Amino acid sequence: MPVRWILHWQPNQGSSVNSHILNEISQCVDNFNGVKDGRWKATLTFYRPNLRDSSMAATEFPRDFIGISLMEVPNKYFFIIRGHKLVLEADSSILTIFEKLQSYKSKVALNFEGLQYKLGDFQVRLIKVVPNTAENLRGILMEIEYLPISSVEKAKPIIEEFVEIWREVLSKKSLHGQFMRAEPNFAEYGLADNYTWQHTAVQYAAALAQLIASVQSRN
Amino acid sequence: MRGSGNYRDTGTGSSEVRLLCDLEQTEPSWTVRHVGGAMRGAGADQISVLVRTMVESKVSKNVLRMFYVLGYRLDHELLRVGFSFQFNRGAQITVTVSSVNKMLKLHATDEAVPVTPGIQMVEVTAPASAENYTEVAAAVQSFCEYLAPLLHLSKPGVSTGVVPTAAAAAASLMSDGGGTPL
Q: Has residue A100 got a pLDDT over 70?
A: yes
* Spatial distance between the Cα atoms of A70 and A72, rounded to a whole number of angstroms: 5
Percent of chain A with pLDDT over 90: 58
* Nearest residue of A to residue B63, measured between CA atoms: A88
User: Would the CB atoms of B60 and A88 count as touching at under 8 Å?
Assistant: yes
Contacts 24+ apart (CB under 8 A), A180-184: A180/A7, A180/A8, A180/A9, A180/A10, A180/A210, A181/A5, A181/A6, A181/A7, A181/A8, A181/A207, A182/A8, A182/A206, A182/A207, A182/A209, A182/A210
* pLDDT for the residue numbered A125: 93
* pLDDT for the residue numbered B153: 80
Give the other-Cβ count within 10 Å of A19's Cβ: 11
Give me the number of domains chain A comprises.
1
Considering only residues B165 and A157, tell me which one the structure prediction assigns the higher pLDDT: A157
Candidate from B12, B55, B69 with C-beta closest to A81: B69
pLDDT category, A56, cuts 50, 70, 90? low
User: Would the CB atoms of A93 and B55 count as touching at under 8 Å?
Assistant: yes
Considering only residues B6 and A82, tell me which one the structure prediction assigns the higher pLDDT: A82
Of A46-60, A89-103, A196-210, B167-181, minimum mean pLDDT range: B167-181
| Interchain contact B108–A (C-beta under 8 A) | no
Query: Are A208 and A33 spatial neighbours (Cβ–Cβ below 8 Å)?
Result: no
Q: Where are the beta strands (DSSP E) in chain B?
A: 2-9, 16-22, 29-38, 52-59, 72-88, 92-103, 112-114, 121-125, 179-181
Domain holding A39, by residue range, is: 3-52+61-218
pLDDT tens series, chain B, 182 aa: 344 556 655 444 456 789 999 998 888 999 999 998 877 777 777 778 888 889 999 999 999 999 999 999 888 899 999 999 999 988 999 999 999 999 888 888 888 889 988 888 889 999 999 899 889 999 998 888 888 777 778 777 666 544 455 555 556 556 554 444 44
Candidates A217, A142, A151, A145; CA nearest to A182 is: A142
Is residue B13 classed exposed, middle or buried when 0-12, 13-18 and 19+ CB atoms within 10 A define those classes?
middle
pLDDT digits (tens, 9 = 90+) for A88-98: 999 999 999 99
Q: What average pLDDT is seen over chain A?
A: 90
* Spatial distance between the Cα atoms of A203 and A186, rounded to a whole number of angstroms: 9
Of A19-33, A203-217, B79-93, B152-166, minimum mean pLDDT range: B152-166
Of A35-44, A139-148, B173-182, minimum mean pLDDT range: B173-182
Query: Are A52 and A61 spatial neighbours (Cβ–Cβ below 8 Å)?
Result: no
* pLDDT for the residue numbered B2: 46
Report ipTM for this prediction. Answer: 0.89
Candidate from B33, B56, B66 with C-beta closest to A88: B66
| Interchain contact A3–B (C-beta under 8 A) | no
Within 13 Å and on the Cβ side, how many CA atoms surround B1? 15
Q: CATH no. for residue A163?
A: 2.40.320
- For residue A73, which residues of chain B lie inside 8 Å, CB to CB? none
* pLDDT for the residue numbered B136: 93
pTM score of the predicted model: 0.86
Spell B86-111 as b/e; 16+ CB within 10 A means b: ebeeebebebbbbbbbebeeeeebee
* Spatial distance between the Cα atoms of A157 and A5, rounded to a whole number of angstroms: 12
Give the other-Cβ count within 10 Å of B56's Cβ: 18
Distance from CA of A66 to the nearest CA of B (A): 12
Mean pLDDT of A164-174: 88
End-to-end CA distance of chain B: 6
For A73-95, the DSSP string reads -TTEEEEEEGGGTEEEEEETTHH
* Spatial distance between the Cα atoms of B29 and B19, rounded to a whole number of angstroms: 10
- In terms of average pLDDT, the best of A65-79, A174-188, B147-161 is A65-79
User: Would the CB atoms of A53 and B60 count as touching at under 8 Å?
Assistant: no
User: Would the CB atoms of A52 and B13 count as touching at under 8 Å?
Assistant: yes
CA B66 to chain centre: 23
* pLDDT for the residue numbered A150: 96
User: Would the CB atoms of A103 and B55 count as touching at under 8 Å?
Assistant: no
